[in-house]
């Protein structure tokens, strides 16, 4: 049986409210996702408010990548890192996008 493994990165661009960042982390954790990336956050993702909204998902806030910019090249690098899989049954999103 062929099994497809999809891994997702959640990228929030210029999030302005710490509570929203925390709530996103909590929702991600509830659904089993772990890769949170913040681009030019306007709110502090490690604040007490963010952690309160994350409730039990603070580890996602602590591991979140923080970036100053996100270019098309960065997006493709993320896709390749997350989705490449050769013959492992994983979907290679970068290859799929090249074929479009």
Q: What digits encode the pLDDT tens for the residues 40-71? A: 999 999 999 999 999 999 999 999 999 888 76
Model-wide pTM > 0.85? no
37 in Cβ contact with 67 (< 8 Å): yes
- Please, what is the Cα angle at 53 between 48 and 54, to 5 degrees? 95
User: The tokens 């979907």 sit on which residue?
Assistant: 91
Closest of 37, 33, 92 to residue 57, by C-alpha: 33
Residue 87 pLDDT: 47
**Which ranges of the chain does DSSP label H, i.e. alpha helix?**
18-31, 48-54, 58-63, 72-83, 93-99
Residue 100 pLDDT: 38
pLDDT digits (tens, 9 = 90+) for 3-36: 666 678 898 989 999 999 999 999 999 999 999 9
């Amino acid at each position: 049986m062929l099994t497809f493994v999809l891994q997702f990165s959640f990228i929030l661009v210029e999030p302005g409210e710490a509570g929203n960042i925390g709530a996103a982390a909590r929702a991600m954790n509830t659904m089993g996702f772990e890769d949170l990336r913040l681009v030019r956050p306007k709110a502090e993702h490690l604040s007490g408010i963010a952690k309160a909204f994350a409730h039990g998902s603070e580890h996602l806030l602590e591991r979140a990548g923080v970036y100053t910019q996100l270019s098309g090249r960065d997006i493709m690098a993320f896709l390749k890192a997350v989705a490449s899989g050769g013959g492992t049954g994983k979907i290679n999103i970068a290859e799929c996008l090249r074929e479009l």
